[in-house]
Amino acid sequence: MNFHYTSLALDRMMIQMFRWFCYLSALVSLMPALRAQDRSQARSMVISEMGIVATSQTLASEAGAQILARGGSAADAAIAANAVLNVVEPMMNGIGGDLFAIYRQAGGAVAGLNSSGPSPAGLTREKLLHDGLNTMPSSGIHSVTVPGCVAGWWQLHRKFGKLPWKDLFAPAIYYASHGFPVTEIIAAEWRAAQDKLRDSETARAVFLPGGKPPETGELFRNPALAKALSLIAATGPDAFYRGPIGQAIVSLSSQMGGTMASTDLASFQPEWVAPLHSTYRGWKISELPPNSQGVATLEMLGIMRAFPLPQMLPESPEAWHIKIEAQKLAYADLARYVADPRFAPSPAAALLQPAYLAARAGLIAPSKAACQTSPGQVLPAAGDTVYLAAIDSAGNIASLIQSIYLAFGSGIVVPGYGFHLHNRGGLFTLEEGHPNVLAPGKRPFHTIIPGLMEKGDLAIGFGIMGGLNQAQAHAQFVSNIADHGMNIQAALEAPRFTKLDFGGCGLQMEARVPAATREALAEKGHQIALRGDFSGTMGGGQAVMLNRATRVKFGASSPRKDGAAVPEPARYFDSSRAAGLAK
């Protein structure tokens, strides 16, 4: 009996051990999944062998992906997506604004496009001073420069497009005519700008249906914009710069006491430019040259390069301190030197010299925030912009940014065509002798910038919105990847700071930054204004990435906006293609 009892106990013990073995084996097998579940990154990257389009509104991303599925290039998809954004996010962008782009061909060639328009030939500093203005207006007809968007689309399509021009506008015309349900963040931004819309009878009629901004989920239509886009689709940029839309702009300007003439519009041509390049931790970083602020990203990274950031945790106060102080130094130079290089010699090469960057880095005290950097011209802080990134199945990348500057731009709607003119001229200064002083036919300092970074087999098109936030956000995105090993989605999501003025120790920071880090920064003298966990002030952004070795594409979209990265649908309903793949 004792032997039998012992045998039963042993059997039970063996069964129990087997169960524990199975449990531990399962636990070990689940470890990668458990680690994934514990990550701080909220979204996964979109990964596909086909193309991907990432924008700040899902309908625009989907439209771009559909263009790719029809055989379009990344340029075609970017134009179509941008046109849809004109409809669904009208406070941020539109045909009344400017455009910049970096286009990387699958073979590696990179082109830059500056499609920002100049001030009217009749608008002078002396005229504004005579009219009693001591600073540039940030709204109204004198803040309007020649809009570059449509001409920029045309140039991108001529150089890199594959589909017929008119096909690219079908999605935008559909949504403008049929209507679309307004999304959450866009509804909130619309609501925040309603006072500006109420100031204009034309704006009220188009953008405040029933006397109020549309609610989340409410269907909004803009048949006047559908008419404008239909004209552009049918006759190209001539409809805007020489045809009925341009005539309406000139007539409106005259009625409001402005100086925009038909010759200002008809003479405009975008400029193909060579991007500026710099290296950071083995990555080649490309930004557009002045009149845009891209040089500030490269200078900020050049200063940060002097410090051992890869050895620091991204949430450490030491890492944050270095980035904040580098921003102040780079932005002091930005405010002082960046302007239209056709009127003021570009300082970009000098600002990126290693000796100069080392000297700037030497000004950073490890234990104390600098509240006095070189003084600069304080510019309007906010910015309302859309950025999108597109990659096609061949590996071409479009990094495109487009804006009407502040929410609903100048506040002026072009009658009969349903869009606002931008107020980019508000970024001029009237300070005599300043590189960015207003002059006839001159492009203002520009905040909107597309980005590109490359290393080995990887190429990333990226951008982050938000006026003066952009250059510093670019640098933080690059650092998240190059210093801290994040993927493109995590790098977009990671908490950020922004400083939207020049001088002083004040800055804004997302609440996800650990409290201990914020306290340590405060002890160094940083004055932190806390924002929400995913604050729009830090700027929404998008990114796409190509791995040339595997030909796999990756997409990412910031949760600070309503958008998404949407993959091109595979041709799984094409029976002949499916049969070929099966073989």
Q: Are 373 and 332 in contact (CB under 8 A)?
A: yes
Query: Residue 533: what residue type?
Result: D
Q: How far apart are CA 142 and CA 161, in angstroms?
A: 35
Q: pLDDT tens digits, residue range 129-182? A: 999 999 999 999 999 999 999 999 999 999 999 999 999 999 999 999 999 999
Predicted confidence at residue 39, as pLDDT, reads 80
Residue whose structure tokens are 């098109």: 461
Predicted confidence at residue 36, as pLDDT, reads 53
User: CA separation (Å) from 199 to 272, 396, 409, 558?
Assistant: 38, 44, 13, 33
Q: How far apart are CA 492 and CA 560, in angstroms?
A: 9
Q: Domains of the chain (ranges plus CATH)?
A: 273-380+450-552 (1.10.246.130)
Band (pLDDT 50/70/90 cuts) for residue 528 is very high
Q: How far apart are CA 85 and CA 77, in angstroms?
A: 12
Which DSSP helix (H) or strand (E) runs through 455?
strand 451-455
**Is 385 tagged catalytic?**
yes
Predicted confidence at residue 367, as pLDDT, reads 93
Which among 304, 527, 322 has a CA at the least distance from the CA of 519? 527
Q: How far apart are CA 55 and CA 58, in angstroms?
A: 7
Predicted confidence at residue 386, as pLDDT, reads 94
To the question of pTM greater than 0.75 for the whole model, the response is: yes
Contacts of 185 (CB under 8 A, 6+ apart): 536, 560, 561, 562
| Candidate list 145, 297, 373, 385, residue with the active-site label | 385
Band (pLDDT 50/70/90 cuts) for residue 466 is very high
Q: Are 214 and 180 in contact (CB under 8 A)?
A: no
pLDDT score of 119 more than 90? yes
Predicted confidence at residue 19, as pLDDT, reads 53
Q: How far apart are CA 407 and CA 412, in angstroms?
A: 11
Q: How far apart are CA 168 and CA 258, in angstroms?
A: 33
Query: Residue 265: what residue type?
Result: L
Which among 233, 115, 220, 258 has a CA at the least distance from the CA of 167? 233
Strand, helix or coil for residue 128: helix
**Helix count (H) and strand count (E) of the chain?**
21, 21
Q: pLDDT tens digits, residue range 379-408? A: 344 556 899 999 999 999 999 999 999 999
Most confident of 24-33, 35-44, 251-260, 330-339: 251-260
Band (pLDDT 50/70/90 cuts) for residue 98 is very high
pLDDT score of 14 more than 90? no
